[in-house]
Chains A and B, each alone.
Chain A
Amino acid sequence: MMQTALHAHKREHISTFSRQKRRETLVGYSFVTPAVLLLIFFLVLPFLLAVVFGFTKFNLLRPDKIHFTGLDNYKLLFTDGLFYKSLWNTLYFTVIVVPVQSGVALMLALLVNNSLKLRNVFRIAYFSPVVTSMTVIAILWISLYNPNEGLINSALHFFGISNQPFLRSSSQAMNSIIFMSVWQAAGYQMMIFLAGLQGISKDLYEASSIDGASKLQQLRYITIPSLYNVTVFVLTITTIQAVKLFVQPYIMTNGGPENSTRTLALLIYQQGFQFRNAGYASAISVIFFLIVVLISFSMKKFLRDK
């Protein structure tokens, strides 16, 4: 008798438990469904289509007439001078921007990580280009870089330097875009470094200054090693941002002069939407995606190997 009651109790317990579990599953699915459906339709599906379209040839305006062409797009890609040029420009931009921008950002973070009364004013000054949209920045800097009557040439005159062509010259255009991009985004990385600096325990500095360490030694042996993870993170996001370079050359130079500022993202856009080679553009998109994955994974490895 006693035992049956116990059994009954147990059974009831199990069944409420499983009912509750079933209910939680139902609620869980209904909570994730809107987001998951949207992601499937507007992220996963387009991504899979990009991979498939990479093996086809078709006009953007006639998606009903798709021809499978196997690896033709990729073969074409690796003989296309413009692809190599764009790849090179993208890598050049990335290789210069990442260390320069992160270096400037770290320096700015060190400059404002203190008890100066005006430190918040300085922080906002460094950060203000970040919140200004890239379109505004690009148009503003076309004016600043104007070869005849731009502010920068006027400033250079002051130092006795003659007029520079900047965006109009194939040797200066990319460097001009680099300079502007560093100016625009350094404040963003500065904020991340600043948070990293403020996370370092004050005790370390106190202990080391009792031991007679100089400010420079503290920087070398405490600050920089403590920032390892933050630095890897900053380098990762800066690199991924950098390989996506698009708006600046699109607005400022349209890839010119002489293709000196044509980047992979710009090439995808032009092949796809100007020349309507949807298949070829998809193949470039796939290569572009692989580059981003490669960067992310190698950076993750750095984080783990620490």
Chain B
Amino acid sequence: MRNTRTKVLLYALNIIMSLLFIIPLLWMVVSSLKPENQIFADLSSLKSLLPLHITLDNYRMAFERIPLMKFLFNSLFYVSVICISGLGVNSICGYALAKLRFRGSEFILVCIIALMIVPFESILMPLYLVVNALHWVNTWFALIVPFIANCFSIFMFRQFFMDIPNEILESASIDGSGPLKTFASIVVPLSGPVFATVFILDFISHWGDFMWPILVTTGESLRNIQLGIQTFFTLPPIYYGQIMATLTFTTVPIIVLFLLLQKYYVQGITSAGIKG
């Protein structure tokens, strides 16, 4: 009896809270499917959350007004390149710090941990000057190269590789396999989860990039989707239906990726939390 009452209470609270969290997103998706005048007509009633007059006009018109597909492609391209090259560079660095003994490795590890503290905002200006000096402004290099190496990713990899038993690595090296081969053929296949975790954490954080792309891209050609929707929002005439369509369209790829790799994303967040 008492158990049922707790259950009912939990359900009630959860449903109320879930609605609070989901209604803004639901309104975004539903409004993107409505004619402009209907969005405002429905605003003061529950109809604002029901897709009653479905049309894809907003999407069609938004696509005509701005090159959304190009922005989407730009985002997918540069974020994937950052993440994939990052997996290579950071994993091999993490491996050396976890499993190889050499002078200075302790020092490098301490530096990498210390550097995690430096907020991006405080190096924004000089990083721009560095990139500018390299003549990288408005090139893919500016968007990609500075973010390949990532202290947090190196640390995640190192923590994971520490747990791989030395015996496995030793037996591979006795069999005559070189260090790079040992890494590629023994370590990488054992480490799928950490690769997936680092990939998705990195992907989601760079997908949202906003401040840096404003600074280093001057024209539309390299602009990412976040800048695309922000410029669209300030571009008169403002139609809410079209804006909601672009927002929904921008959110879909990341939701798909999240659902595919959900387990690893949540694991990444929580393992950082528990190990502190």
| Chain A residues within 8 Å of B, Cβ to Cβ | 21, 24-25, 27-29, 31-32, 34-36, 38-39, 41-47, 49-50, 53, 60, 63, 108, 111-112, 114, 116, 118-119, 121-122, 125-126, 128-129, 131-136, 139-144, 149, 151, 154, 157-158, 183, 187-188, 191-192, 194-196, 199, 229-230, 232-234, 240, 244, 246-247, 250-251, 264-265, 268-269, 272-273, 278, 281-282, 285-286, 288-289, 292-293, 296, 303
Q: Is the interface of A mostly helix, strand, loop or mixed?
A: helix
Is the beta-carbon distance between B208 and A151 smaller than 8 angstroms? no
Is the beta-carbon distance between B204 and A112 smaller than 8 angstroms? no
Interface string of B150-186 (1 = CB under 8 A from A): 0100100000000000000000000000010000000
Is the beta-carbon distance between A53 and B125 smaller than 8 angstroms? yes
Give A230's nearest chain B residue, CB to CB. B273
Give B268's nearest chain A residue, CB to CB. A191
Which has the most chain B C-beta neighbours within 10 Å: A39, A119, A158? A39
Is the beta-carbon distance between A154 and B145 smaller than 8 angstroms? no
Q: Is the interface of B mostly helix, strand, loop or mixed?
A: helix
Residues of B contacting A27 with CB < 8 Å? 96, 100, 102, 179
Residues of B contacting A246 with CB < 8 Å? 121, 211
Is the beta-carbon distance between A195 and B273 smaller than 8 angstroms? yes
Is the beta-carbon distance between B149 and A42 smaller than 8 angstroms? yes
Which has the most chain A C-beta neighbours within 10 Å: B101, B125, B244? B125
Give A41's nearest chain B residue, CB to CB. B130
State in angstroms the CA–CA spacing of A292 and B115 once bound together: 12
Is the beta-carbon distance between B21 and A125 smaller than 8 angstroms? yes
Residues of B contacting A28 with CB < 8 Å? 96, 100-102, 105
> Which one, B21, B151, B254, contacts A183 given CB within 8 A?
B21
Q: A32-B97, A60-B125, A135-B210 are in contact. Are A112 and B14 (CB under 8 A)?
A: yes
| B235: Cβ under 8 A from any A Cβ | no
